[in-house]
Structures are given as structure tokens and as C-alpha cells.
Structure 1
């Protein structure tokens, strides 16, 4: 493509794109609620866990990008070409299950946030349902009619609002530089009545996205990043995105550590905003709510836009087709738009379930994917015959992927043992 040779020497601001989309999509209700709750329970002593979680996700996503730039295939396409179409039949049930619970969780979180901002309903549960449905339909319209560029613009605005408000809230509630530095560089896990380990693991596992990391490759194609020398750009882009993710998580742990809040469920965000109003005044409450809305709606919008890529790609693979390095998924195609309609409507039934139960199911199902991704990247990126010697896993990457494999396997199995 003309001009592609100079892409790796572009100004920094032009390199940062899909990584921010990934950050905005991955930072949602789970990060917001879990980080603030863990901060209130364990304090700033577990700030290190946020950094570790973001680093784990960076290594996995960098491996996905490295595979795609080396081979011209998304990871799903690569798995099918080497292992057969049975991979798609195994993946599709997981995709449907993940879409339902994550879609419900995002509608629920956006609905709760909007109810906190506009408490026109007597009961928070009713506000969650009505506003959650409205947010889902708004996301559907934006993705359906707006295209990738409008989506990218809206996401940039959301993540800017989200990050600025979280950092300002943390700054206003600053617990002291020494406490923050100790939490970052002196890892420890408080006892907290036997809950310390479980919540620290939840914090590490909940940082950033889960299935949405697979969508990074489709955004690379939208941006025209298809050559091997684009890897440097992708690493800068991803590092920026996960730094943003980590900063947001750190800020929310600090906010949570500075106020006292109890409870979960649909009123969690309402209660958190009320406590911030007591500590910081009405401006603090509204600052938090605006940032929270930016976080949860950008996550909803990102999932609505990106996950249909996966279904459309899988559908094409089952029909016998395979995209090459420069072919984008057609966002006007029947498979893409059908799944967009599906994910924006069917999970509405989950709005009538407990907010906490939906969030738990979302976290467990998401955690189950990462051991599979880590194992796949260890094998696929470990073969020079497939990716070339320059793109093969280095020893440090292998160590981190093994740790990710073991860690997320443990998290995924904990609820069942």
C-alpha cells in the first residue's frame, strides 16, 4: 500500500488508535466496581496487582498482534488453517455464552450509572432495566449507522472523560505518596478476614478485557496495519492502551481506599457516588458519575462494534473462506449485522437478574479464555516455520505466557473447587 513504509516513523499520536479502543472496551463495569470495592476492602496495598494484570494482558495481546503481522491471519483464522474447522465449532458456543453474560453485564452497569445520574425511578432495579435497554439501543444505532471512524471518535472522547475524571478523583482523595509507592513496589496481600487473596486475584484477572483482546486484530486491519514492520507501532499502541487501563484501575483503587462503602448489586455505583458527594461535595459525585458513564458506555459500544467481527470471521471460515492480511470484515454484511442485533437485544433478558450474579458469571467465563489464548500463543508463536525467527517467542515472553496460563487456569477453576 502506498505510504505504508513510513508508518512506523509516524508521529506518536498517529500510532495510538486500536490500543486505546481496546482499553476503552476492556475498562468497564468490572474494573470500575471491582477496583473501587477492592480498594475499600484492602486499601492501597494491592496497587501492584493492577500493574501485574495490565502487564499480563499486554503480553497476550502483543502475541496476537505479532502472529497476525507475521502470517496475515487472525488467531482464529490461523487455528482453523492448521487445526481444522472444528476449532470454530468449539469456539462458537463459548462466543454465544460470553456475549450473553457480557452484554447483560454492560447493559446493567450502564443502566445503573444512568439511574444514579437521573434517578427518575423509585427503584434502582427498574432504572437499571429501562436505562440499560436504552443504552443498548443507542449503542446499536451508533455502530449500525456510524461506521468505524465515528466509533473511534466516540471511544476517544469516552476514554478521555473516563481517565481524566478517575485521575482527578484519585488526586482529590490522595492517601499519601508513601502509601501509593508502597502499594506499587512492595507487593503484599492483606488477610482481610480471609478475603484478601480472592479479591487480589479478582483485581489481577479483571484488569482490561477478555474476549475483546481477539478483536484487536480486526481493528489493525481497519487501520491498514498489515506489514511486519508495523509491529513496533503496535507495541507502542498497545503499551499506551494498557498504561491507560492501569492508570484507571490504580485511580479507582485509590478512590475506593479513601472512602467507606458496603454492598454490591445494582446500587453499588449509586452508593459509591453518594459517598463521594459526602467527601467531595456535589461536584465530586457528578465528576465520578460522568467518568463512570464514559467507562461503561465505551465498553458497551466497543463490545457491540468489535465482537460481531469474531462471528462474521467464524461464519466466513465455516463457509470456506479466509481473509488475507488486507481484507477487512464487511461491517455491512449479513453475518456482522445479524450478530450486532443479537448482542444488542438478547442479553436484555439478563437485566432482570442480579447485578452481582451477572458480573460474577462474566468474570468467570472471561477468565476461562486466557489459558487457551496463552497456550495457543506458546505453540503458534513458538514455531519459526510459522512466524519466522524474528517473530518467534523470546524466553521472557515464554515465561510470562506460562505464568498467564497457570494463573488464569487457577482463577477459572477456583469457583468449581
Structure 2
């Protein structure tokens, strides 16, 4: 526990850095939270929904514990990114660059290939959801519309508007998926039974996939930039950042739990097979047949909201990383602290935003090149282990004041993250080759 004098010093430092004073009361803190919701909403996409529903369909309420573990792991990763920024004043790219050129070069290659494939995938998923609700245009046309809307919203450079829209969509996701799950509430015994860690035969990879997929994507690395946009500066903001992240992953856990409940109570014991994004649309149809059209629409709206929040979060967050990457490799290390922070108005930020939006449209018509998909899969499988190991190194280094370095619990969790993501990554690489 920090001493009162230490807290006062941090408050004084926040003022000295020309940033606002952090909130002092719980009410003030709750009013300020937001960046964590953006990260979590971006990470919780349709893939997480379908994974939870499929596991519920196959194993009932057995894996409640896995959702809780996944939310805890992602909390520590997200908190680590935020703590690095607030405790050092450096971006995560600067941290990676301090590890050696290999780290920044890895991210540079990753971001270009990942952005091209994800730009198409995210837009097509949005198009799939909208086409199911309003089949007045083909899926590819709706995909283009969503890409352009995301581009236009982010191009304005108004973070608070972006955060407000994301918050509204999070509310829509929460109401629709929670509302649907209320029809299938499990008994207290069924629910609490899922708290006991069990691994039925044939469930290992599904369980690890559920743990690894609870609200986690590359946009976790964007958290520091969103903190900057909220004008959270200095060590005094670490407590509010932690509250922000905890609130976000509690909501994420509840959301994923609701999807598990739907699968466990509606489809468990049936022969229904759900696969990919189309599986969610098939589920919406089944719910409509059983309970009427309104419930079908509820799930379709939840599907679309999850897809569009993921698109908007990436369109806003990953360009920060790319712009910072270019700035970092172009600037001498000793000069980096003098350079103006990256913003949504930077040319490199907007160039990457355009890269996410326009070139991927070719994939709508030409298909995905096999070689590109393999490279994308390799880099994607290695990113989360890369993030975990970099946080372990950076947050135990002398670059961070002793009181803000990792404690043993944090190190243990991050090492657990590293081992799990490395195992998942190797499994994905085996599938590719």
C-alpha cells in the first residue's frame, strides 16, 4: 500500500505535468472510466461469442471457470500496458524499441500484413450481420459501407465522440446478449458447478481458446494511446486506470458468460452444429423459430454490434501503433522524449487508416491470397506471446520506478499468459503447415 506522502507526490507530479488532477471519489472515478471499455469491446468480437456458445452447446456450464480465468489474464495484460505508459511516460512502441530493433521490426511487418487481412475480415463480418437484418444490398456492399463509415468517424480525430459511440454500442451488445440469456438462466447449482476447474475429454483446445479469446486482440497495445486522449498523465492516474480496466473486463466476462448460457441451456444435448460467423446467424434463426421474431432480432443486433465495435476499435487504435512505429524508427532514441506524441491528425496515422479501409476491399472480390493468409496466421499466432513477454521484461526493468514494477502475482500471471499463448500459437502454426 502506498503512503499518503507518496500519493501526494504523485498528485503533485500530475499537476506539474500539466495534466488534470485524477478523481478522488468513487463517483468521480466511475464517471471517468472509458478507455478500458473501448479495448474490451474491440476485443470481444463475433468469434468470442460463437466460441462461448459452441462450448456451452458441447459441455454445458462446465467452463464458467475458463471465462473468469480469461478475464483475469486479459486484465493483467491490459493493466500492464496502461501502467507502463503512466509510470514511464513512454508508449508501448518506445518500450518495444528499447528491447532492440527486432521488436519494432516485428511489429512493423505484423501491422502491415495483419491490417490488410483484418480490414477485409472485419468489414465482411459487419456486412454479414447487416445483410441478415436488411438484405437490401449484397454482403460485400454492406462491408464497404461499414469500412467507409468507420473511416469517416475516425478521420474526424474526435476521440470523445468515438468513445461515446463505442459506449453506446457496448450498451446495445450488453442489453441484447444479456436479454437473450435471461430466457435460459441456469440453476444456482449448474452455475456454481462451473466454477470448479474441469477439463472433459477432447475439450483442452476449446477451453484454451475460450480463455485466450476473452476480449484480447492487438488493440490491447493501443490502451496507452487512448489514455493519452483522455488526458490521463502520470503515476497518479494508475489507480483510476486499474479501476477502468477492472470494470471493462467484468463487463467482458459477464457478456461472454451470457453467450455460454445461451449455448448451454438452449442447444446443449442437441445435434446442432454452429461454425464461424454464419453459426451465429443460424442460431438467431433457431431462436426465432422457437421464441418468435423479436428474439431473432435481438441476437442479430448483438452480432452486428460486436462486429462493428471491433471494426471501429481497430480503425481508431491500431493506426496509433503504426504511426508511433514510424516515428520511433525515424527518431534517435535520445531524441524520442522531445518528439510530439502521435495523434489522430498525423499523416502516418491517417495513411494506416486508409490502409485498413481501401486496399482490403480487393479481397471482397479477389479472395484471400493463400500465402498472405499463412503469413497472417503465423504473425497473429505469435503476437500475444510477444506482448506478454515484452511486458514481463519492461515492467521488471529499472525504466519503471520500483513501486510500479511487477509484483510476484503479476509476474506469475504474465508468465502463465506467455505459456498459454505460446501453446495456442504453436497449435495454430501446426494447423497452417
TM-score above 0.5, yes or no: yes
Aligned residues: 404
Does the residue aligned with 2:61 lie in a helix, a strand or coil?
A: helix
Mark the CA change 1:259 to 1:156 in structure 2 (over 3 Å): closer, same or farther: same
1:375 paired with 2:375, answer no
Question: What are the equivalent positions in structure 2 for 1:40-59 lying under 5 Å apart?
Answer: 40-59=57-76
Q: How much does 1:324 deviate? A: 4.8
Q: How much does 1:87 deviate? A: 3.0
Question: What are the equivalent positions in structure 2 for 1:11-410 lying under 5 Å apart?
Answer: 11-80=28-97, 82-120=98-136, 127-145=138-156, 147-183=158-194, 185-191=195-201, 194=202, 196-260=203-267, 261-265=272-276, 267-320=278-331, 324=337, 328-351=341-364, 353=367, 365-383=379-397, 385-410=398-423
CA distance in 2, matches of 1:413, 1:388: 35
Does the residue aligned with 1:4 lie in a helix, a strand or coil?
A: coil
Q: How much does 1:160 deviate? A: 0.5
Mark the CA change 1:388 to 1:3 in structure 2 (over 3 Å): closer, same or farther: closer
Partner of 2:8: none
Q: How much does 1:105 deviate? A: 2.5
Q: Which moved more, 1:322-331 or 1:92-101?
A: 322-331
Instruction: Indicate conservation of the 8 Å contact 2:377/2:428, yes or no.
Output: no
Q: Which moved more, 1:370-379 or 1:221-230?
A: 370-379
CA distance in 2, matches of 1:212, 1:115: 27
Mark the CA change 1:208 to 1:325 in structure 2 (over 3 Å): closer, same or farther: farther
Superposition TM-score, scaled by structure 1 size:
0.90
CA distance in 2, matches of 1:186, 1:285: 33
CA distance in 1, matches of 2:67, 2:338: 34
Partner of 2:6: none
CA distance in 2, matches of 1:78, 1:3: 22
Instruction: Indicate conservation of the 8 Å contact 2:157/2:345, yes or no.
Output: no
CA distance in 2, matches of 1:86, 1:245: 33
CA distance in 2, matches of 1:325, 1:375: 28
Q: How much does 1:15 deviate? A: 3.0
1:228-273, Cα deviation, whole Å (9 max, x unpaired): 0110000000001111111111111111223334242553222111
Instruction: Indicate conservation of the 8 Å contact 1:259/1:275, yes or no.
Output: no
User: Structure 2: which 5+ residue stretches go unaligned?
Assistant: 1-14
Backbone CA RMSD of aligned residues: 2.5
1:189-238, Cα deviation, whole Å (9 max, x unpaired): 233xx3x2221111111111221001000001001111101100000000
CA distance in 1, matches of 2:265, 2:373: 24
CA distance in 2, matches of 1:301, 1:393: 32
